[in-house]
């Protein structure tokens, strides 16, 4: 018998006995996933065929970002409690989610400039710039900017969520606290400070990380933490690069629908370094 003939793992490979069962009183696959709501949430405003791609692209990205925030927040809680092994698993998952988001740009890039220009008037001022989930991710990763609160001021409930991430310690702040608790010297003003301020690189912090990387057997967990953070920023940089490249490919140097300068603004974001000492130390190893 061909093993493929007995594969019942997929939703469309159900044996005859199961096919005769009555599911009317049980929760179905669609019920569990609320597919009626999920698949009924695409409402194109234009007559353009390509708007469905544009909507699905952004909706699926928001779903991945929801999972990313779920994992990031749990990772930070575990890190604060010195539960490093669970934290590593969560950070690895965040990096994999970022990889999914990187590849998603490949699909959007199939939209040509004339196709996007045809639907753009229907978008009004809506823009990914206004994604409150993305802004929470940026803030949680340490890229704090008070001006980025303003796009959410019209929704107090959403503003509160974004503001919470803005005012809380970032993932890297929690990492430095964990390093300190392992007995390595971190300056006091990096352990308690105004968390709304952007992070400034420190020679003392770099020295602490260098100690970790030069003594990996002694500080194995911290070494793994450093590499998980580096993996995450590596994936985030790729996402940003694919973002700016896709935008330039589709709209050139037109202004963004949300009022930003478009490609010029996105290119500036490429220079943002989230965990600077983890990158600088490699020169000195």
Q: With a cut of 90, say whether residue 6 has pLDDT above it.
A: no
**What would the CATH number be for the domain defined by 49-120+130-284?**
1.20.58.480
Nearest partner of 39 among 30, 27, 50, judged by Cα: 30
Q: What is the pLDDT at residue 9?
A: 54
Q: What is the pLDDT at residue 158?
A: 94
Q: What is the mean pLDDT of residues 82-107?
A: 96
Q: What is the pLDDT at residue 1?
A: 47
Contact 152, 130 (CB under 8 A): yes
Q: What is the pLDDT at residue 251?
A: 80
Q: Write down the number of H helices and E strands in the chain.
A: 13, 0
Q: Which residues, other chains included, contact 211 with Cβ-Cβ below 8 Å and sequence gap of 6+?
A: 184, 219
Cβ-in-10-Å burial (0-12, 13-18, 19+) of 90 comes to buried
Q: Which residue has the higher pLDDT, 180 or 253?
A: 180
Cα torsion angle, 68, 72, 78, 84, sign: positive
Dump pLDDT digits (tens) for 103-158. Answer: 999 999 999 999 999 999 999 888 887 999 999 999 999 999 999 999 999 999 99
Q: Which residues, other chains included, contact 251 with Cβ-Cβ below 8 Å and sequence gap of 6+?
A: 113, 116, 120, 262, 263
Mean pLDDT, all residues of the chain: 90
The structural domains of the chain, with segments of one domain joined by +, span 49-120+130-284
Q: pTM for the complete prediction?
A: 0.87
Residue-level length of the chain:
285
Least confident window among 58-67, 169-178, 216-225, 247-256: 247-256
Nearest partner of 82 among 222, 189, 186, judged by Cα: 222
Residue indicated by tokens 């194109």: 44
Could you tell me how far CA 67 lies from the centroid of its own chain?
8
Count of C-beta atoms within a 10 Å radius of residue 67: 13
Dump pLDDT digits (tens) for 65-82. Answer: 999 999 999 999 999 999
C-alpha distances in Å from residue 40, one per residue of 27, 43, 225, 283 = 19, 8, 41, 52
Nearest partner of 148 among 164, 167, 133, 129, judged by Cα: 129
Q: What is the pLDDT at residue 263?
A: 79
């Amino acid at each position: 018998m061909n093993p493929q003939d007995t594969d019942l793992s997929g939703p469309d490979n159900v044996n005859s006995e199961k096919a005769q069962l009555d599911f009317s009183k049980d929760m179905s696959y669609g019920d569990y996933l609320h597919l009626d709501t999920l698949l009924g949430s695409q409402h194109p405003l234009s007559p353009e065929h390509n708007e469905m791609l544009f909507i699905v692209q952004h909706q699926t990205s928001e779903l991945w970002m929801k999972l990313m925030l779920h994992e990031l927040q749990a990772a930070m809680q575990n890190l604060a409690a010195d539960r490093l092994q669970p934290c590593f698993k969560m950070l690895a998952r965040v990096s994999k989610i970022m990889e999914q988001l990187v590849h998603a740009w490949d699909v959007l890039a199939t939209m040509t400039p004339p196709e996007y220009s045809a639907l753009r008037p229907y978008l009004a001022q809506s823009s990914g710039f206004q994604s409150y989930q993305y802004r929470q991710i940026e803030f949680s990763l340490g890229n704090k900017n008070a001006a980025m609160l303003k796009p959410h001021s019209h929704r107090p409930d959403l503003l509160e969520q974004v503001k919470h991430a803005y005012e809380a310690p970032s993932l890297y702040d929690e990492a430095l606290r964990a390093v300190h608790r392992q007995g390595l010297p971190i300056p006091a003003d990096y352990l308690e400070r105004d968390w709304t301020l952007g992070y400034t690189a420190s020679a003392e912090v770099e020295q602490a990380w260098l100690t970790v990387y030069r003594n990996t057997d002694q500080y194995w967990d911290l070494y793994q933490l450093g590499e998980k953070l580096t993996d995450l920023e590596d994936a985030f940089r790729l996402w940003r690069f694919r973002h700016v490249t896709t935008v330039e490919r589709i709209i050139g140097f037109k202004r963004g629908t949300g009022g930003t300068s478009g490609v010029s603004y996105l290119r500036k974001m490429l220079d943002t370094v989230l965990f600077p000492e983890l990158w600088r130390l490699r020169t000195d190893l």
